[in-house]
Amino acid sequence: MISKFKLAALAATAFVSFGASAQAAVTIHSYVSYQAAVNGDEYLVTDFGLPFTIAPGWALGGTASLLTGTSGLGAAPAFGPSDPGDDDPTQYLSVQGAQVATFTAPNVSRVSMYIGSLDDYNSITFYLKGGGSQVITGLQLGAVSGANDGDRQQADTNGRFTFYSTDNIIGFDLNSTTNSFELSNIGAAVPEPATWAMMIIGFGAVGSMVRSNRRKQALALA
């Protein structure tokens, strides 16, 4: 069985953009309360667990912290209504006031992330392959989920947001003007079957060119 990280490596390495839109925009596609698991057609980028691991092709930098439990520095994202029985039992990401968490992504068309106790002062800046960027504010997130008041257990402030982009995402920053912006379980889109097929054809064409060049070189030396 292929591990989730090997699957992530395949997806991250193989995904190719075919003609990005000139009017690229990131949209909030959906929100699902308490959906801790990534979407069914996604691979797990990271769950911030112990030990911390991240899928090949991705990187995390910045000044944010990996925490467990709930304190003045962050609240463990709620995976259900029971407090604290349904909270994320392992590490999560906490972006505190004036901090930033910077993710590098391998050209993905869709990203999802589990956000806990969403606040209006949280924000996400997406960076796009075409060179642009777009900010999604906590107010915009709350308009989709139903609230952005930082409640630690409610269904409208703890759940999975899924973002679509018409231009591939090459990274994103997570910002918060005060404590805190908490996240868990980030996912990204697995390449479509048609994309895999086009890539296989492309790899085959490259292989044919290499073999042809080798034959020509062999004849020239004969």
Residue 113, pLDDT score: 98
Which one of 2.60.120, 1.10.357, 2.60.40, 2.160.20 gives the CATH number of domain 4-191?
A: 2.60.120
Residue 221, pLDDT score: 39
Residue 155, pLDDT score: 98
Whether the CB-CB separation of 176 and 65 falls below 8 Å is answered with: no
Residue 191, pLDDT score: 64
Listed as ranges, residues in the chain with pLDDT below 70 are 1-24, 191-222
Residue 193, pLDDT score: 55
Residue 192, pLDDT score: 54
User: What are the extents of the domains in the chain?
Assistant: 4-191, 192-222
Residue 201, pLDDT score: 53
The encoded tokens of residue 16 equal 């190719």
